[in-house]
Structure 1
Amino acid sequence: MMEDFDEIYEEEEEEEEDEDRAAEEQLLKYAPDPVVVRGSGHVTVFGLSNKFESEFPSALTGKVAPEEFKASINRVNSCLRKTLPVNVRWLLCGCLCCCCTLGFSLWPVICLSKRTRRSLEKLLEWENSRLYHKLCLHWRLSKRKCETNNMMEYVILIEFLPKIPIFRPD
């Protein structure tokens, strides 16, 4: 008898999860398209540009102050300014020694590039928790296909979080 009770309970729980997921999808359907901030630097290492555009996108008008946007982009760019020159030097050394080391000399560059991406993601998480989640925005680093060629690049996506209807019963 106890086994039957557990099965019924699990089915009810799954139905509630399906309803919650459907409600979230419906809210996301009405959210505007995310704003894409592309890299604008002249050096790109493994898809990560050395600088992001600091021009205020018109889609964010009324959502966030242009000064806050610029300050956030400047923080991201300063993080890139600190880490990317080191990555470029290691890339040059790795390319010079690539034939002798059978490609193993490129591993430091790959690891440093991964570390740079992680530090950017942590910075964006901090920015989100500090300000942007309160404004129903979410910043994240995303890999996208370039518009001009077949290569991949990292961009900053600014997604609009749907407002939770507070009048909906629980």
Structure 2
Amino acid sequence: MADFDTIYELEEEEEEEQEESEPVVRSQELPRPRDAPDPVAVRGAGHITVFGLSNKFDTEFPSVLTGKVAPEEFKTSISRVNACLRKNLPINVKWLLCGCLCCCCTLGCSLWPVVCLNKRTRRSIQKLLEWENNRLYHKLGLHWKLSKRKCETSNMMEYVILIEFLPKYPIFRPD
């Protein structure tokens, strides 16, 4: 323990001497990572969409992820998200129909339950994806997240699962 303190004090004195002799410009940035590939977007493939959130996501394995993650793990993760959607979205649709019927009488306030339920569904999917990231995907250099994107065919917005590649920092490069 005493040796550690001594080394620490010596390093501190050397830094002070360097600062006095010549000004050193220090950068707080991390080393520049290599350019990461573009993220992979997994789009909704269901036939019902409530406020941009489809009732299921496509389970087809993207070829870009070959060698990064096993197709079985990918399908398991998407199946978990689809199970969460299958559990929550029918309730949202029922509340949406009820809210639309009563919309004129309530001046639009009957749509608030649908908005709140949709937000709760999105949060549960985000928590599920964060759990998946911590369990597996961060170790593989991937990051899954739920993101809002513009549809390719129209001006509408939709929620997609984005699979981003985490940048690799060159740890063996000298300072």
> C-alpha root-mean-square deviation of aligned residues, in Å?
1.8
Task: Output the CA distance in 2 between the equivalents of 1:83 and 1:164.
Answer: 40
Equivalent positions of 1:99-138 (< 5 A) are 99-138=104-143
Task: Output the CA distance in 2 between the equivalents of 1:116 and 1:15.
Answer: 45
Q: Does residue 77 of structure 1 match 2:82? A: yes
Structure with the bigger percentage of helix: 1
The correspondence for 1:95, drawn from 79, 88, 100, is 100
Runs of 5+ unmatched residues, structure 1: 1-7
TM-score by length of 1: 0.85
Task: Output the CA distance in 2 between the equivalents of 1:117 and 1:141.
Answer: 8
Task: Output the CA distance in 2 between the equivalents of 1:15 and 1:146.
Answer: 44
Runs of 5+ unmatched residues, structure 2: 1-18
Query: Is the partner of 1:131 in helix, strand or coil?
Result: helix
TM-superposed deviation, 1:104: 0.3
Query: Is the partner of 1:125 in helix, strand or coil?
Result: helix
TM-superposed deviation, 1:15: 5.2
Aligned length: 153
Equivalent positions of 1:9-158 (< 5 A) are 16-17=27-28, 19-20=29-30, 23=31, 26-27=32-33, 30-158=35-163
Preserved contact between residue 33 and residue 170 of structure 2 (Cα < 8 Å):
no
TM-superposed deviation, 1:165: 1.5
TM-score by length of 2: 0.83
TM-superposed deviation, 1:27: 1.9
Task: Output the CA distance in 1 between the equivalents of 2:105 and 2:173.
Answer: 66
Extract structure 1 runs of 4+ deviating beyond 3 A. Answer: none
Task: Output the CA distance in 2 between the equivalents of 1:16 and 1:111.
Answer: 45
Q: Percent identity over the alignment?
A: 78
Larger gyration radius, structure 1 or structure 2: 2
TM-superposed deviation, 1:16: 3.3
TM-superposed deviation, 1:164: 2.1
Query: Is the partner of 1:138 in helix, strand or coil?
Result: strand
